[in-house]
Amino acid sequence: MGERRMAVVGIGAIGAVLAAALLSQDGDTVLVAPSPAKRQALKDEGLRVTGVLEYQARPRHVLASARELRDFAPEVVFIATKTFHLDGVLDDLREVAGPGTALISCHNGLGTEDVIAARYGAKSAFRVSMNYGAALTGPSTAQVAFFNRPNPLGAVDPAGRALGAELAALLTSAGLDTQLVEDIKLLVWKKMVMKCTMANICAVLDCTIRQGLESPPSRAIAERCFAEILAVAQAMGHGLGPDYMTQAYAYLDKVGQHKDSICVDLANGTRTEIDFLGGKVVEYARQAGLEVPYYETMTNLVRALEYRRLGGVPAAGR
């Protein structure tokens, strides 16, 4: 695996940790960061990760666009951008990605691996669910608050399992313990049931996950939303079992001291990832002929907040 040329597109909190880990194994890993300030910081200061994971790495190659990767011909591209940038990145990769290029979605949200598969074929599409919580503390620094090992990784096409095993081994050797799984979609749903539900509530109330669950009124909304999304997951072929919510609440109690990333986006007046979170749940529900009134209301409230924070200008693509 060390012989494969690798790239990371998107050096936000998740991407920064991933990039630093990969650089610890291969100093020629290529980074793509559109922000000029971030690129300069990466070149001048390198990447530094602190907290429950620690890395210090200086990249040799930092690019402004995924289009520039054509000069490096990467065989493995980790895409760690915000979900609303995914289509644009895939456009930029048209002259980069060939039939043998592996494109790995490292996003939060539902269905991102399907977007890749629709554009480049199922054999090129992989998905990894990063189970660490990280926040940027500077243009080229990040802090990791927790890591619930291992990260699940899977191939959309079973023919990709051998490469998937290599990727999982590489990430594990870099300190990001990762396990190849048969059904990555099931593992993504298990995480996204919690993420999609609590992201909406935290965004509307501007509160932490724990605060959203401790308040009786908002917990009642969460319980109705959980019931709706579990029904959607079941309709999509991903039954999560009778004990799922017991485990979910235990997990949320453990990691719920932080605000969801949508809260940060709204506070910064930037676009949110609602389309691949609550919005995707509503989309799947409609496809399955299910009613999800709580989810639809909470999702629309987040979109209304985003609309207001963006100055009344609809986000691109809406």
| Structural domain includes residue 312 | no
Last residue of a domain, one of 122, 155, 182: 182
Tokens representing 197 are 């539900």
Q: Are residues 131 and 242 in the same domain?
A: no
Could you tell me if 303 and 277 are in contact, meaning their C-beta atoms sit under 8 angstroms apart? no
Question: Are 86 and 112 in a shared domain?
Answer: yes
Question: pLDDT-based confidence at 256, cuts 50/70/90?
Answer: confident
Look at residue 314 and tell me if it is in a domain. no
Overall average pLDDT of the 248-255 stretch: 90
* 89: confidence class by pLDDT, cuts 50, 70, 90: very high
Is residue 316 pLDDT above 50, yes or no? no
pTM score, whole prediction: 0.95
Q: How confident is the model at residue 2 (pLDDT cuts 50, 70, 90)?
A: low
Q: What is the pLDDT of residue 313?
A: 65
| 226 and 159 in a common domain | no
Q: How confident is the model at residue 257 (pLDDT cuts 50, 70, 90)?
A: confident
Confidence of residue 214 (pLDDT cuts 50, 70, 90): very high
Task: Band the pLDDT of 253: cuts 50, 70, 90.
Answer: confident
Task: Among 164, 182, 200, identify where a domain stops.
Answer: 182
pLDDT above 80 (res 312): no
Across all residues in the chain, what is the average pLDDT?
A: 95
- Cβ neighbours of residue 133 under 8 Å, at least 6 residues apart? 144, 145, 146, 147, 255, 258
Residue 91 pLDDT greater than 90, yes or no: yes
| Confidence check: pLDDT of 138 > 50 | yes
Given a cut of 70, whether residue 181 has pLDDT beyond it is yes
Whether residues 66 and 152 share a domain: the answer is yes
- What is the average per-residue pLDDT within 182-191? 97
**Lowest mean pLDDT: which of 55-64, 184-193, 255-264, 291-300?**
255-264
- Mean pLDDT value across residues 31-54: 98
Residue 75 has what pLDDT?
97
The domain boundary, picked from 127, 151, 182, lies at 182
Three-state SS for 236-289 is CCCCCCCCHHHHHHHHHHHHCCCECHHHHHHHCCCCCCHHHCHHHHHHHHHHHC
Q: Are residues 196 and 177 in the same domain?
A: no
Question: Is pLDDT above 80 for 315?
Answer: no
- Mean pLDDT, rounded, for 285-296: 98
Q: Give me the number of domains the chain comprises.
A: 2
Q: What number is the average pLDDT over the span 299-305?
A: 97
303 in any annotated domain: yes
How far apart CA 202 and CA 187 sit, in angstroms, is 23
Q: Does one domain contain both 153 and 193?
A: no
255 band by pLDDT with thresholds 50, 70 and 90 = confident
Claim to verify: residue 82 and residue 194 sit in the same structural domain: no
Range of the domain at 77: 6-182
* pLDDT over 90 percentage in the chain: 92
Same domain, 52 and 172: yes
Say if residues 116 and 146 touch (Cβ distance below 8 Å). Answer: no
* Interval 180-195 mean pLDDT: 97
Give the model's pLDDT for residue 1.
52
Lowest mean pLDDT among 1-10, 53-62, 138-147, 187-196: 1-10
Q: Is the pLDDT of residue 273 over 50?
A: yes
Q: What is the mean pLDDT of residues 111-124?
A: 98
- Residue 66, judged by CB atoms within 10 A of its CB (0-12, 13-18, 19+), counts as buried
Split at pLDDT 50, 70, 90, the class of 317 is very low
pLDDT of residue 304: 96
Round to whole Å and give the CA distance between 301 and 202.
11
